[in-house]
Amino acid sequence: MADRIISSRTHDAHMTVRDHIADGWVASVCIVPKDAPKSKELIKLDTFFESEDVAWKSAETLARAELNNLK
């Protein structure tokens, strides 16, 4: 599955949701300075969810909140 990116004026939030065979879906959010490559050190969320839709919604909610805090 492809990453999704939400951008603010100064930062990008990279969101990833992937299927974790028996455990459900794993969502990850990484906040980096604008146009910087994705970095594993800045992951804010790495949690299991029961459905893909819930995982994407949670990742997007966290990403938007983190970007708003950086303004």
Tell me the β-bridge partners of 49: 25
Claim: this prediction has a pTM higher than 0.75: yes
Domain encompassing residue 23: 4-69
CA 40 to chain centre: 11
Averaged confidence pLDDT in the chain: 84
List Cα–Cα distances, 13 to 22, 23, 54, in angstroms.
Answer: 27, 25, 18
What total of structural domains would you count in the chain?
A: 1
Supply the pLDDT for residue 65: 93
Write the burial class of residue 71 (CB in 10 Å: 0-12 exposed, 13-18 middle, 19+ buried). exposed
Tens of pLDDT, residue by residue over 14-47, are: 998 988 777 788 888 888 888 788 776 566 666 7
Contact (CB, 8 A) for 66 and 31: yes
